[in-house]
Amino acid sequence: MEEVLRLVVERYNYWIYITLMMIGLYALIAKNNLVKKIVGMNIFQTAVILFYVSIGVKKGATIPIIEHNYDMAHQAIRAADYVNPLPHVLMLTAIVVSVATLGVALAITIMVYHRYLTLEEDEILKQIRES
Amino acid sequence: MSQYYPALLIAIPLLAALFISASGWLRPALCFPLALTALGGSLLVSLGLLSNVIRGIPDVYLFGGWPPPWGIYYRVDHLSALVLAVVSIVGFVNLIAARPAVEKEFPEKAAPFYTLYVLFVTGLLGMVITGDAFNLYVLLEIAAITGYALIALGKGRAPLSSLHYIFMGTIGACFYLLGVGYLYIITGSLNMEDIARLLPPLYESKVVTVAFVILMVGIWLKMGFFPLHAWLPNAYTHAPSPVSSLVAPLMTKVMVYVMIRMVLTVFTVDYAFLVLKLNDAVVWLAVIAIVAGSLLALAEKDVKRMLTFIVVAEVGYMVGGFWLGNRAGFIGAVLHLVNDALMTLCLFLAVGNIVYAKGNSQWDSLPGLFRTMPWTMGALVVGALSIIGVPPTCGFFSKWYLLLGAIQGGHYGFLAALLFSSLVSVVLFFRIFEISYFEPFGASHGPDHGEDGPAGREAPLGMLVPLWMTALGLVLLGLYTGEIVDRVIRHAVPGMML
């Protein structure tokens, strides 16, 4: 039991991202409304982004900006003092990608709405079957 | 000059996409020539890269001059040069054929269409050439997002199918990203070769296993590997014909390439085949994919939709061939990647011509086609023979290598699936030939078939020339199979498989 608790507490960032991911996946699979599905998709993407952001963190470290005091140039910079900026930078790109996906998805949803005048998937499928 | 080829390959179409969308407002007539020039340019560059690789000149391009573990770099080897050539040839040929269909189906959207088209090809080329795992994700999404938009241009159900494709495609891409994240956690690197260098001591780690499985699932989702194929048939069927003849040959094949690249360069063959020992299971999955794809194709009554299920079965060929893990299987998988891109292009172009003339590709509109559209149907026959695997065409040779690989690997399930699928293809295509050759078209057009039945309306020359170029390409590719294997693919075979 203690083992499990430690696993949960020590790695809580992983548990959070997996929970978020599953919420998103559930919405993608189970929801009937197309916009809700898109929201689920976005939660799914955000979960991965949060996962990346969380892995850059170090205990007791600060933001990765190096101070340039004039007599500090000779001092070695200890990597352990700064959080890892690379995953965060990568996620800037991933956020752009997810925004683009969201935009395309919403634009296409508008097309779907104009064509079927509803966003409920079962009603759309019924219309398709009848036509 | 030639040291800039890898960067030019991406830069030309990327910048051209910008100019095309601008010229959509200023001079719409310029869109098509611009797109043609851009893709022609990257076609020349990719052929230059291929010839460089054959002559043994290395092509590495460091972006911003940063050396590999820190910067992004593009690297061309035998495998990627071959796939680059295939992607740019298919993109270029299909663009020529796209013009009449675009002018007929959505003339007002020509500028966005050409912009997205060129961007899509850019994304695919980038995925093939990049040596950085995260860069691959970005280019994957460029190709995917433009692909969603292109598919949504179609009529009827297209937007809905495209939306479903977005949902599945996003899950796939996120899984890929997650896998790269796990690799980054354990190695601290994103460069493919650097990861491969850092991984060996970590082979026993569970994180690497998780990364591998998640990456593979993401890639399989994107390529439509059988249980994960649900998005593919609808998306490719409802897309407008110039789009399906672009997306169907390329997207799945490039994802197969990404799978091969991930296993060869990132995880290395030793890990995938000796440490994980997943190969047998994956080949069985491929067997299921081939059989299921063939059977599902058998149930369809629309040529285009039937072809999409053939694409699903063909993905099984390539995945299975690669995971057989021997030399013949590997050569077969890579050769089939090349051949299948051209075969599906040929078939989808032919179906595009039928849709252009008849409005759809349902079986009802097939009768009498051999009389009214002899050239289109002739090319369809060549493509079909190639899918079935009849000797002079290229499909035979890659299937031969795959069968050889299955026998050498002792995997008779895969062997049986290949033969079964070939037989089913015979049934599928000869049924089409029978309907369009023998069935009296009077029967389906009513007694008075005066106006639109037999009227000799072949598709325009602009669509026939690319179609026949592809059809002849299939035969030429078959005749020069030995050259391709000897000069290119042989060098890509990993040492362990020799």
Question: pLDDT tens-digit profile of A47-75?
Answer: 999 999 888 888 888 887 776 666 666 66
B387 CB neighbour count, 10 Å cutoff? 27
In a domain, B353, yes or no: yes
* A112/B167 Cβ within 8 A: no
In a domain, B325, yes or no: yes
Percent of chain B whose pLDDT exceeds 70? 96
* B171/A44 Cβ within 8 A: yes
B410 CB neighbour count, 10 Å cutoff? 10
Alpha-carbon distance of B498 to B486, in angstroms, equals 14
**Residue B310 to residues B252, B424, B426, B429: CA-CA distances in angstroms?**
12, 10, 12, 11
In a domain, B465, yes or no: yes
In 3D space, the residue among B255, B265, B385, B404 whose CA is nearest the CA of residue B331 turns out to be: B404
Amino acid at A69: N
Structure tokens at A27: 């919405």
Which pLDDT value is given to residue B348? Answer: 93
Which pLDDT value is given to residue B442? Answer: 57
User: In this predicted model, what pLDDT tens digit does every residue of B21-55 receive, in sequence order?
Assistant: 888 888 888 888 899 999 999 999 999 888 888 88
Amino acid at B409: G
In a domain, B161, yes or no: no
Alpha-carbon distance of B379 to B76, in angstroms, equals 33
User: In this predicted model, what pLDDT tens digit does every residue of B173-193 receive, in sequence order?
Assistant: 999 999 999 999 999 888 888
| Residue B66, SS3 per DSSP | coil
Nearest residue of B to residue A27, measured between CA atoms: B167
Number of structural domains in chain B:
1
In 3D space, the residue among B236, B232, B208, B212 whose CA is nearest the CA of residue B221 turns out to be: B232
Which pLDDT value is given to residue B448? Answer: 45
Domain encompassing residue B349: 285-445+453-498
Q: How far is B212 from chain A (nearest CA, A)?
A: 16
Residue B145, chain A, CB below 8 Å: the answer is yes
Residues B319-348 as b/e (b if ≥16 CB within 10 A, e otherwise) read bbbbbbbbbbbbbbbbbbbbbbbbbbbbbb
pLDDT band at B110 (very low <50, low <70, confident <90, very high): confident
In a domain, B415, yes or no: yes
In a domain, B32, yes or no: no
- Using the structure block, give the residue that is written with the tokens 């078959």: B478
Structural domains of chain A ordered from first start: 2-58+75-130 (1.10.287.3510)
Chain A neighbors of B185, CB-CB under 8 A = 55
pLDDT band at B447 (very low <50, low <70, confident <90, very high): very low
Task: Please list the alpha-helical segments (H only) found in B130-240.
Answer: 133-151, 158-187, 192-198, 206-223, 232-238
Mean pLDDT score of chain B? 87
Which pLDDT value is given to residue B309? Answer: 92
Residue B106, chain A, CB below 8 Å: the answer is no
CA B248 from centre of chain:
6
Residues A55-68 as b/e (b if ≥16 CB within 10 A, e otherwise) read bbeeeeeeebeeee
Rg (C-alpha) for chain A, rounded Å, is: 22
Averaged pLDDT for residues B435-439: 81
Q: How far is B464 from chain A (nearest CA, A)?
A: 32
* A104/B178 Cβ within 8 A: no
In a domain, B414, yes or no: yes
Q: How far is A16 from chain B (nearest CA, A)?
A: 14
pLDDT band at B493 (very low <50, low <70, confident <90, very high): confident
Query: ipTM value of the model?
Result: 0.91
Q: Contact at 8 Å (CB) between B429 and B388? A: yes
Structure pTM? 0.92
pLDDT band at B138 (very low <50, low <70, confident <90, very high): very high
Chosen from B70, B163, B214 to mutate, greatest number of chain A CBs within 10 A: B163
In a domain, B403, yes or no: yes
Q: How far is B342 from chain A (nearest CA, A)?
A: 30
Amino acid at B174: C
Which pLDDT value is given to residue B389? Answer: 86
More confident: A78 or A45: A45
Element (H, E) at B61: strand B59-62
Nearest residue of B to residue A46, measured between CA atoms: B174
Residue A77 DSSP symbol? P
Averaged pLDDT for residues B5-26: 89
User: In this predicted model, what pLDDT tens digit does every residue of B348-389 receive, in sequence order?
Assistant: 999 998 888 888 888 887 887 888 888 888 899 999 999 998
